[in-house]
Amino acid sequence: MAQFDLPLEELERYAPAVPAPADFDAFWQETLGEARAAPPVRSARPVTAGLRLVDTWDVTFAGFGGAPVRAWFSRPAGVPGALPAVVEYAGYGRGRGLPHERLTWVCAGYAHLLMDNRGQGDLYGNGGDTPDPHAGAPGGHRPVTQGILSPHDYYYRRLITDAVRAVDAVRALPGVDPARVAVAGNSQGGGLAVAVAGLVPDLAAMLATAPFLCHIARAVTLTDASPYGEIAQYLAVHRDAEPQARHTLSYVDGVSFARRARAPGHFGVGLRDTVCPPSTAFAAYHAYGTQDRTMHTYPFNGHEGGDAVHVRHQLDWLGARLPAAETFDVDSR
């Protein structure tokens, strides 16, 4: 696919007005206040994952509505003290998979929490372990359209709340410095990272690659690729539902969250990305609430963006702002 969105020189100036509902802040304050009525961590059980250099726990924390959400928590083995942590969010259709799948951040010296996606895990990867007991409101059957007729019923109200609670949970786990927590993710995970940065004011950093749920109104006009295409498909059948759907989506748009973010931000996007169009990522980037922000672009890449090259940029950028553990001593175990 050739570049189909705005040229780079226009993307670098693209800062559209994406209005938030008048009660946006009150909506999320109420939602998170209800979720935080319960202590975040329910259990943390050590697991044997076949990795001598990594210690791993199977964590369950209280997400939206107090429902249990699963996560993998890992630390570099033999490293004492409280470490900075990275909370990572997975892409659309993925679950947390297996504990040995995502080792970049823990191998870099960070504590690492990988959150499961409630009700997802059946499209890619190695599955998930978190059902969504709150599903069932009117709307489509895929996550992006579940409950889309009401902000209170919408699936992403629940998943974004889970993502915030994942930060609460990692801060409560032993061996983590609660003042040094970053969030990271690609695609849907990137959208969640942007949302959490707008809802948790004291994060140390935010890293989002090809973020989903940004400038949604534009995205659904540019691409038929899933997940945005699932919204268009739903509205193609439910023709009178568009005003309700647009109203609901305005409560989860990453541009509104980005405006409220205060943590340093690192972005990446492929300019041939037909899944999360580059202009939507730039809309969030230019709205992002601090000047300490960086954007990497990859002109000949699609949704994969910079892949491992971009990960190296992330490691260097985060290491400069949030230094990780430097000493590993497996023999001390």
Side by side, the strands of the sheet bearing 41-47 are: 41-47, 54-62, 68-76, 111-115, 83-89, 176-186, 205-209, 265-270, 293-298
- Which pLDDT value is given to residue 294? 98
pLDDT tens by residue, 147-191? 999 999 999 999 999 999 999 999 999 999 999 999 999 999 999
Residue of 187, 250, 256, 279 with catalytic role: 187
pLDDT tens by residue, 69-114? 999 999 999 999 999 999 999 999 999 999 999 999 999 999 999 9
Establish whether 303 is a catalytic residue: yes
Residue of 153, 250, 273, 310 with catalytic role: 273
Establish whether 187 is a catalytic residue: yes
Q: Is 196 a residue whose pLDDT tops 60?
A: yes
- Which pLDDT value is given to residue 85? 98
Distance CA 293, CA 80 (A): 31
> Cβ atoms within 10 A of the Cβ of 278, count?
29
CA-based end-to-end distance of the chain:
51
- Which pLDDT value is given to residue 329? 55
Mean pLDDT across 315-330 = 83
191 token code pair: 């959208």
Distance CA 191, CA 208 (A): 7
> Which residues, at least 6 apart from 31, have a Cβ–Cβ distance to it below 8 Å?
64, 157, 161
Mean pLDDT across 142-151 = 97
- Per the listing, tokens 């993998």 go with 72
Which of the two residues, 78 and 330, has the higher pLDDT score?
78
- What pTM does this model have? 0.96
Distance CA 159, CA 66 (A): 12
pLDDT tens by residue, 19-36? 999 999 999 999 999 999
The overall average pLDDT reported for the chain is: 96
pLDDT tens by residue, 198-242? 999 999 999 999 999 999 999 999 999 999 999 999 999 999 999
